[in-house]
Amino acid sequence: MGVYGATLGFYELWRAYDRKVSYREEALRLVMLAIPAVAVFGHAIDSVSIGTRHDLVFGVQTGLVFRIMNGYN
């Protein structure tokens, strides 16, 4: 997801530079591209539970990114 998002972001920045798009319009486009990724990441962090409560330990949250991308779990 990160590589795909970075590719789209860099492409949009190159396109904005090439076409002389306004900063406001380009910022809106980049925010629109980021909304789905932020929503999925927010849902993933919210849905992680160990036992009966949500575990808010920083180490668990950072490891969550790798657990989500592992297709064998």
Domain boundaries, the chain: 2-69
pTM of the complete model: 0.52
| CA–CA gap between residue 45 and residue 64 (Å, rounded) | 7
* Mean pLDDT of all residues in 35-45: 80
Q: Is pLDDT above 70 for 49?
A: no
Query: Which residues, in sequence order, are CB contacts of 28 under 8 Å at separation 6+?
Result: none
Query: Which residues, in sequence order, are CB contacts of 5 under 8 Å at separation 6+?
Result: 33, 34, 37
List phi, psi (to 5°) of 47. Answer: -90, -5
Q: Is pLDDT above 50 for 26?
A: yes
Burial (CB count within 10 angstroms: exposed 0-12, middle 13-18, buried 19+), residue 62: exposed
